[in-house]
Structure formats: structure tokens, C-alpha cells
């Protein structure tokens, strides 16, 4: 199964390090980031969970919940959490799903049928409050994820939703945005009274009010 952008993501009921959850209910009216790990006690994932825990307050400030997943049992997760705290300097501060039966990883298409599931279960899903998939990323086992980039993506998605804009390459909050071609100049004058710069008719840059 391959999830498509803007598709409603599958719901599920699972055990986590913070107790049982029903995923859609757990998301509530917030955003969520579900990210998976091949197995417990793997070195790259240990660093990732430490970094995600460090950045968790930044995500929370944007109305985003973090939730991790590994295919190992819950008891292993609890021991791994101790290692994450001791080696990375940040204690796990969000739920970690125990997906030993592969229910979630199968529903989300994380496991390639011809590969070792402990290698292939490695993905990121950004989910909005309507439970729609807004972005997905898949990484190889040798490359650690960039959580600063994931945070930037959240800022871009939320800005696009709020202001009817697109964001250019390498965009960061406070930088100029793009007025989408689907927005006519007449409508743009209503939405963006501050005006815009247009080096080409299809490329209109504007700065959003602070």
C-alpha cells in the first residue's frame, strides 16, 4: 500500500511507551508527525530520537505532536529510552509505538515485501488536523534524518494553509513567499494589499505581515 498526499491516513489502535492510543483520537485537532525506525538499539535511530526529543517543544509550539514507531516490543522500547537519554542528553518525551506485529508499518506501506523489515521500516509522515497526509519522506538506513528540515516543512505547510501562498526553495519563516498562479492578480490585490514583486508574470513574490 502506498499512501498518497492529501489522502486520509489509516487509523490504528496500538500500545506505546505512554500507554495505548487510538491514532486519530490521539491526533485530535492538532498536526502529527509519525516517524518509524528499523529496530530498537540501532545507532542512527538513537541519535534521531534524541534530536526529536530536543526539538519536541518547537514542534509543540506549532501544534504538532510527535510519535515514533519501531517494530520491537514495548519492553525493548523502555530500555532503549534509557540509552537515548544517557547518550543523547535528551529523554524521550513523546510516545514510541510497539509495532512488532507490523500492523502500522504495513498499513502505511513502510515495509518493502522483498526486503528485511528491520531495514526498510524508516519513514516520516506529516499529517494535518484533518488526518490527511501532507508530506512523506523515506530515508535509507545509513542516513540520519534532518529534523530541522522537518520543522521547516511544518512551518511551510502551515504558512501555505494560513496565507494561500507557496514557499520558494530553502524558504524560512520571515522570508518572501510566492503567490500561486491559481490566484489572479485581482484576487491577489485583496489577499496581499502590501503588493508584490513580479520578475515574471507567473513568479510573484510577496512578504507576509509579521
Sign of CA dihedral 68, 72, 77, 82: negative
DSSP 8-state secondary structure symbol assigned to residue 166: B
The dihedral built from the CA positions of residue 26, 28, 30 and 35, taken in this order, carries a sign that is positive
Structural contact between residues 41 and 131, judged by C-beta atoms closer than 8 angstroms: no
Q: Describe the strand order of the beta sheet including 123-127 as a list of residue ranges.
A: 96-98, 64-70, 31-37, 123-127, 133-138
E-assigned strand segments in 25-80: 31-37, 64-70
Left (φ > 0), alpha (ψ -120 to 50) or beta: where does 115 sit?
beta
From 159, 186, 187, 188, select the one nearest 172 (Cα to Cα).
159
Catalytic residue list contains 195 = no
Q: Which of 138, 151, 134 is nearest to 109 (CA)?
A: 138
Report the candidate in 76, 51, 49, 70 with the shortest Cα–Cα distance to residue 120. 70
Which residue out of 3, 27, 34, 45 is catalytically annotated?
Answer: 45
Q: List active site positions.
A: 45
Amino acid at each position: 500500500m502506498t499512501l498518497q498526499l492529501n489522502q486520509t491516513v489509516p487509523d490504528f489502535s496500538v500500545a506505546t511507551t505512554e500507554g495505548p492510543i487510538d491514532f486519530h483520537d490521539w491526533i485530535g485537532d492538532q498536526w502529527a508527525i509519525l516517524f518509524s525506525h528499523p529496530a530498537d538499539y540501532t545507532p542512527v535511530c538513537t541519535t534521531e530520537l534524541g534530536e526529536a526529543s530536543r526539538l519536541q517543544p518547537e514542534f509543540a509550539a506549532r501544534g504538532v505532536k510527535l510519535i515514533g514507531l519501531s517494530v520491537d516490543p514495548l519492553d525493548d522500547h523502555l530500555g532503549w529510552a534509557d540509552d537515548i537519554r544517557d547518550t543523547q542528553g535528551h529523554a524521550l518525551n513523546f510516545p514510541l509505538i510497539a509495532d512488532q506485529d507490523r500492523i502500522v508499518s504495513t498499513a502505511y506501506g513502510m515495509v518493502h515485501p522483498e526486503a528485511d523489515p528491520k531495514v526498510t521500516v524508516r519513514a516520516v509522515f506529516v499529517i494535518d488536523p484533518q488526518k490527511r497526509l501532507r508530506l512523506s519522506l523515506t530515508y535509507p538506513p545509513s542516513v540520519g534524518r534532518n529534523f530541522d528540515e522537518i520543522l521547516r516543512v511544518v512551518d511551510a505547510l502551515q504558512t501555505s494553509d494560513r496565507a494561500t501562498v507557496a514557499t520558494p526553495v530553502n524558504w524560512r519563516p520571515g522570508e518572501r513567499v510566492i503567490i500561486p498562479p491559481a490566484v489572479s492578480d485581482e484576487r491577489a490585490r485583496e489577499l496581499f494589499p502590501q503588493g508584490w514583486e513580479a520578475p515574471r508574470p507567473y513568479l510573484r513574490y510577496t512578504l507576509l505581515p509579521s
